[in-house]
Chains A and B, each alone.
Chain A
């Protein structure tokens, strides 16, 4: 469905953020992209959704293909029209618009009134809580409600591939679990393919089928989730477990750093 081939991204003409990154997402899959801060996860998503151009970033090498069509030089609005929808980091709701208006704002790619109505109902089917908040300004919603609204907006557009940037950011564990279970349902019931960027590796690996691990602008590991979970490095760096399944002590930090340097 989505194929990113060996892309290079440069910000501001000088800063090289992605150094030959490749990944593929199959139709119907949930794929997760893990990595430390600054590894280039968000940049990867923005390169796919076209939002990079807004921020002085540029794909200087390689290709991005969606269903066989090249999209790396298309404008964000064209990419959305093709069915790729980025749910941005940090719950970017339109604060001064109501919940209803927030959802309507995502219908730029739709024309048919009936379809809009149908999708509107679908959003409330998955997020019944939002229904009572329709007239409320989005800026006054709680963090969890805002995250639901942002995912709801993606449902309003004809989304086939949802790019999720840290949906768990700043939410309580119970809310994170709820959001992730809804994401899994959306994937199964609405056939929405997902590329999920997460810091919460536990949650991400629990719903994804395939995982990539990034370091310094490159993919360093790539495997099925079941195998990743068994991988010693993943256990150590992302799940915080030793071979015995206990928490690591601070003493091992030096080893951790050395090992990580070796990985990249």
Chain B
């Protein structure tokens, strides 16, 4: 490959890899929204806390990266459960808007907690080799390839889980009709807890991956902000939509950086949002959002 195509592929693949991380975090968003109709604004902070926790284990405590990765996952399960139990369960039955406000409050609490424990500096992981792999001329660092691999693996695991595992079907049943699910013996509380757990886990995996790429800092919380358009883009309540939305946002971000940045600096930060607005003007439910099924 050479010339134009190579240039395109370079940015496309980097974008795809970043997008796969967004997709992972978007999955967490959608899961919570689908089963509890809460928009979890603290998703980005989950991601940041996960990244800091893993970094701290690796660097401050000298643990092997993979070991600290595993410990972080356990930590995020606990974090997810804790947030659900302490912050959200007491609010079941309250108006949705006040619960969303509470998640906004949660972002500040988590952010403050991180600054209190780990300080304000941006720190680096430096665990993956820096030299790039050459894929037919496209140069990608190990990190990008790994991110893509891990994200796609997890996304397929979740896709299969929701399609075939009974627990996955229970979760979708609760999302579809809460009272009916309850009348069939599905514990809504447990499903809520599970959604928060999965959301926390996928976010911290996303956080660790982004943290490896961009360094770990409080700014990681803004990744959550970037995932929001991905989620809305795909339609808030569609898992498939979230994944595609995540990929599209990642790819748009990198392609706009490649092609438009020389003319309009830092356009890559805004470009995905511009496309989002355009998409929503044409399809208000997002690309894959569930329109109410109406039998005629």
Contact = CB atoms under 8 A, between A and B. Distances in A.
Interface of A: 49, 51, 54-56, 75-77, 80-81, 85-86, 88, 92-97, 101-102, 104-109, 137, 139-140, 142, 153, 157
A151 B1 CA distance: 60
Contacts of B173: 94, 97, 101-102, 105
B293 A108 contact: no
B172 A54 contact: no
A106 B293 contact: no
Interface of B: 93, 166, 169-170, 172-173, 176-187, 290, 293, 295
Contact of B172 (A55, A92, A97): A97
A80 B295 contact: no
A216 to B, nearest CB: 25
A263 B292 CA distance: 44
Given A92-B180, A94-B177, A95-B293, A77 B172 contact: no
Contacts of B181: 94, 105
23 contacts: A51-B179, A54-B179, A75-B187, A76-B182, A81-B185, A88-B179, A88-B180, A92-B179, A93-B177, A95-B176, A96-B172, A97-B172, A101-B172, A101-B173, A102-B173, A105-B181, A106-B185, A107-B166, A108-B185, A108-B186, A108-B187, A139-B293, A142-B295
Contact of A77 (B176, B178, B179, B186): B186
Interface centre among A54, A80, A94, by most B CB within 10 Å?
Answer: A94
A96 B180 contact: no
A109 B183 CA distance: 12
Contacts of A54: 178-179, 182
Nearest to A107: B166
Contact of B293 (A55, A80, A81, A140): A140
B183 A85 contact: yes
Nearest to B187: A77
Given A104-B169, A137-B293, A92 B185 contact: no
A109 B185 CA distance: 7
A88 B293 CA distance: 19
Contacts of A92: 177, 179-180, 183
Contacts of B93: 56
Nearest to B185: A80
A156 to B, nearest CB: 8
Contacts, number: 82
A107 B185 CA distance: 8
Nearest to A156: B184
B189 to A, nearest CB: 9
Contacts of B290: 96
Contact of A96 (B166, B176, B178): B176
A103 B34 CA distance: 20
A96 B295 CA distance: 13
B183 A101 contact: no
Contacts of A153: 184
Interface centre among B183, B184, B187, by most A CB within 10 Å?
Answer: B183
B210 to A, nearest CB: 32
B256 to A, nearest CB: 34
A95 to B, nearest CB: 5
Interface centre among B185, B186, B295, by most A CB within 10 Å?
Answer: B185
B160 to A, nearest CB: 14
A105 B183 contact: no
A87 to B, nearest CB: 8
B180 A80 contact: no
Given A85-B183, A96-B172, A139-B295, 20 more contacts: A51-B179, A54-B179, A55-B179, A56-B93, A77-B186, A81-B185, A88-B179, A88-B180, A88-B183, A94-B172, A94-B176, A95-B177, A96-B290, A96-B293, A101-B173, A104-B169, A105-B169, A105-B181, A108-B166, A157-B184
A51 B293 contact: no
B186 A105 contact: yes
Interface centre among B176, B179, B181, by most A CB within 10 Å?
Answer: B176
B184 A80 contact: yes
Contacts of A104: 166, 169
Contacts of B187: 75, 77, 108
A92 B186 CA distance: 15
A95 B172 CA distance: 11
A94 B179 contact: no
Contacts of B183: 49, 51, 76, 80, 85-86, 88, 92
A243 to B, nearest CB: 42
